């Protein structure tokens, strides 16, 4: 779980959440920075369920809003990341997550 917490804090937050703009398409450099971080995460994703075992952990709860933010701002960044997509489907299917998703008016 510590690996995931560090990855979320040190790479995904800065290289995806903070780098990808909300008000315009990302530049090539912003896109490349974010994509590199997402590919690192993809490489660590297990092919089963949650990030750090068989049950949801703080790592899953930390990553979920970061990837939701990316999907909202630049969904094309998540293309071609099958393990990430499977994990997002698992988390996105949880009622607790669905109640927190931002839906623009």
Is the separation of the CB atoms in 70 and 34 below 8 Å? yes
Q: What is the mean predicted confidence (pLDDT) over 7-17?
A: 94
Give the count of alpha carbons within 13 A of 46, CB side only.
Answer: 13
**Residue 70 pLDDT:** 95
**Residue 43 pLDDT:** 93
**Residue 53 pLDDT:** 87
Q: Tell whether the model's pLDDT for residue 40 goes beyond 90.
A: yes
Please give the sequence-ordered ranges of beta strands (E in DSSP) within 1-105, or none if there are none.
none
Domain 1-7+35-105 = CATH 1.20.1050.10 = yes
Q: What is the residue extent of each domain of the chain?
A: 1-7+35-105
């Amino acid at each position: 779980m510590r690996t995931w917490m560090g990855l979320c804090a040190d790479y995904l937050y800065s290289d995806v959440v903070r780098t990808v703009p909300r008000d315009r398409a990302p530049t090539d450099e912003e896109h490349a920075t974010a994509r590199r971080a997402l590919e690192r995460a993809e490489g660590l994703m297990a092919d089963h369920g949650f990030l750090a075992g068989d049950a949801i952990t703080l790592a899953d709860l930390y990553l979920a809003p970061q990837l939701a933010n990316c999907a909202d701002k630049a969904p094309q960044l998540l293309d071609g990341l099958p393990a990430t997509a499977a994990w997002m489907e698992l988390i996105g299917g949880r009622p607790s997550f669905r109640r927190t998703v931002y839906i623009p008016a």
